Amino acid sequence: MLVKKRFHIAWVLLLLAINVCANERRGVFFQSKEVGVEERTGIDLTKNGAIKYEGKFSIEFEISFRDYAERYGYVFRLMDKEGEHKIDLICKIDEVSPDLLVLVDKKETNLQLGMTSEQKKLVNVWYKIRLSVDPDSSEITLQFADKIITDHIPFPETLKLKWGFGCVEDFGRGIGEVPPISVRNIKFFNNDCLSYFWPLSFTDGTTVRDSVRGKVAEVINPAWVVEQHQVWKKIRTLGLDEFPQIAYNEDKEEIYFVQRTKKLLKYSLNNGSETMLPYASGNPFYEEGQQVFFNKKGELVTYSEYRKLSTKFDEKTLSWNNSFDTIAYLPKYWHHNQLLHPVSGNYTAVCGYGFFTFFNTIRVFDEDSCTWSELKMTGDRIGPRYLASLGQSQKDSNIYYLYGGVGNEDGKQIFGKNFYYDLFRINFKTNQIHKMYEPRLARKINFTPLNSMIVDDARNCFYTLCFSLNHYVSDLQLYRGSMLGDQGLFFGSKIPYTFSDISSYADLYRWRSHNKLVVLTMHKKPDGKFEVNLYSINYPPSDFVYDKPVHLDSFVFFDSIYPMLLAVVLLIVGVLVFLLIRKNNSLRKNKGNESRLSEILSGSEPKTRPEGKVLLFGGFQVYDKRGKDITYRFSPTLRELFLLILLFTMDDNKGISSATIQEYLWPDKPESKAKNNRGVNIKKLRSILEDIGNISISYDGSQWRINHSNDVFCDLEYIRYVFTSNDEQFFVRELKESVATLSRGRFLFGIENDWLAKEKDDITRKIVGKLEYACRILDVTEQASLIIQIAEVIFMFGPMNETALKYKCKILYMQGKHSLAQEVYNNYTKLYSKQYDENYQLAFKELVK
């Protein structure tokens, strides 16, 4: 166990050192009207054979929409092999008709749903769709998000179905109308049992497999959602005559470019429109230092550090309430950070540079009196700097984070420049500053972040883009920084950026309605004019790489990273070699002395378990400390909350955060209501757990966990303990008890939650793999009865498992039970043919020889 623990720690260190943890994302991105018909995307789920159902069936998947002028096309088509029966789901999003409608046998139905205006506005957001067909009651039900409608339509009780999404030609006629959508997590249920599940995980090929039976589907003209989270796409290039001051109206998702004379330009992210607004009267203040903002009333304001005045723009009259001249002064504060104070709503400037001086002040501007005041902060000191990155916490609006920058501790440029890579938390409610960390090692090549960052509290990270200040022609690249320590990762495609202190600018914005990030770059051209480029990427950005591990970009390697990595790698290699040698020795010993396994097994006696139990195999059951079944006390919400905390705790005791609980249980509720719901249900759960035994819920300020003593038994915890042990004798000794535990049934049978699907898949895969290994190391003569029990358990978890078939048939045949072995084989081949619509290839004699 100690070796295993050391191996785990070393492995975690290696992952942290080289940042190879890929955030794999699911989903096929359907190429639509932006390409020709022959290049549009489709998924043929039944390319290698139809899907047969008997009785009622359901299909379920998640869908997201893109923002196009025309969002029309076939989402999917279900049809029998002869083409007599069809079910089509059509998307037709507009303002005058239903947005989703179902056709059955080419006839219009009452299954027509209208999306809300908010749902139409929000794109790149996932919604669940479920279509259920019940031939017995002649009911077909369509569910989209929380809307459900039903129509009475006869449909055959059994059919073999062909099934395709988007542009699939093998359906009697080609379907060229593909809506601009993405699809993931496609499921097929027969009589409420999950028969097929295609997660649609990224691959560099054109085929994907279902995770239940391995059924292969073909992706036509594949494009992937993950690619939309990795590659920046240019969405617009703008030309301006003068150096602009730039402000982003996050509520309206519009960018304003304020020029010194004559006009300003307004660009809308949502419709891509450019609107020129010529000044009818007045002038903006103009000091080339990005001294423009939207105030708490939503008014566009520019201010002057010299005149101690501000001016507002009236968009209706196209006028500025200022008559002063607009001489382009050099600013006192350059590349400072800015925000609206969370408490007062006043404009607030943080740090900056001007006249050979770096600043660390936090200054607040009062529009009414046109005066500046400096906030007095307590706690840690921020070193004077500019070119830092600032972002607001999503969890607490009073909290801002400041990362990096350029400056020095004295604030005087004559003492040179230092590159900062520290992170500060600034609480504007308590006026406190806390340094969260500073780097342990110096960078070999320095980098500088953009003015703004996007904070993701749920993932304990932030996103910004960085560039090399040492080069005039550089690149911007995404940087994901950690809130927990100095581990950063560069990933994604690069954006060209030409940096000059006085004639360039770049910033990062959140485009919430489209669930994207937007980067703006601006630089001066040789003709004296200015060019602005806008790029976007889906949020959150992904570092997933299919064919090679993601690593830190070359300009962020540390001076001593190579020795550190080498040491960690050598540690890992040493531990692996030791474990392999020990495993091989153990295998040789056991192969040379099968009787020793018999001794171990003969000594295995069923254990007496405590009365308080949490059982997850065969369904969800809970017994109190007197042995009474109290499962009925768990409502669906309490049960899901309990499982979330329990399973997240079992994941190396990590626990689960409040934000993650809200994301799973109450995603549509505001934080205050979700917090109230969580508190009420935690209280109910604690009351129930008291009756089970010494089991409780703890909270350390960031993570919820479930803790218990030995007087409470959890079957999953026991199986994990046995099946992950490196002690083979212990594993063999516990086999009978483990098999008896697993014989109760599949993991959380009958409970279907989206977040549980992957957990079930992982647990099932690991259990089946370990049981297959047990069959290989046991002697087929001396442990024949146990191997057959193991095969039965494997069949329960995976009816099409060939290893279980092989060992069961072989042992029965060796025991002279030829007809029984033949019957097992025949039943398997019939089920195989029924499921896959093809014959099983391995003959009976080949199987038992």
Residue 200: the pLDDT is 92
Q: Which two tokens stand for residue 267?
A: 């660009």
Q: Which residue has the higher pLDDT, 253 or 701?
A: 253
Q: What is the pLDDT of residue 315?
A: 93
Q: Which residue has the higher pLDDT, 484 or 606?
A: 484
Residue 460 identity (one-letter amino acid) = N
Residue 442's pLDDT band, with cuts at 50, 70 and 90, is: low
Q: Residues 222, 41: contact at Cβ < 8 Å? A: yes
Indicate the fold that domain 28-223 takes in CATH: Jelly Rolls (2.60.120)
Q: How far apart are CA 336 and CA 333, in angstroms?
A: 6
The yes-or-no verdict on residue 713 having pLDDT over 60 is yes
Residue 579 pLDDT class (50, 70, 90 cuts): low
**How many angstroms separate the first and last alpha carbons of the chain?**
39
Stronger pLDDT, 440 or 847, i.e. the higher one = 847
Share of the chain above pLDDT 70, in %: 86
* pLDDT-wise least confident of 326-330, 434-438, 519-523, 698-702: 326-330
Higher pLDDT, 609 or 372: 372
- pLDDT tens digits along 587-598: 444 444 444 444
pLDDT in tens, 799-811: 889 999 999 999 9
pLDDT for residue 418 is more than 60: yes
Average pLDDT, the chain: 84
Strand 504-511 relative to strand 516-524: parallel, antiparallel, unpaired? Answer: antiparallel
Residue 129: the pLDDT is 96
pLDDT tens string 29-46: 999 888 888 889 999 999
Domain boundaries in the chain?
28-223, 594-798
pLDDT at 553 over 50: no
More confident residue, 580 or 383: 383
Residue 8's pLDDT band (cuts 50, 70, 90)? very low
For residue 496, is the peptide bond before it cis, meaning its omega torsion is within 30 degrees of 0? no
Q: How far is CA 668 from CA 128, 511, 665, 849, in A?
A: 14, 19, 9, 59
Q: 238 vs 534, 555, 780, CA distance in Å?
A: 8, 30, 75
pLDDT at 258: 92
Nearest to 433 by CA among 395, 484, 377: 377
Please check the confidence at residue 190 and state whether its pLDDT lies above 90.
yes
Mean pLDDT value of segment 384-399: 95
pLDDT of residue 573: 53
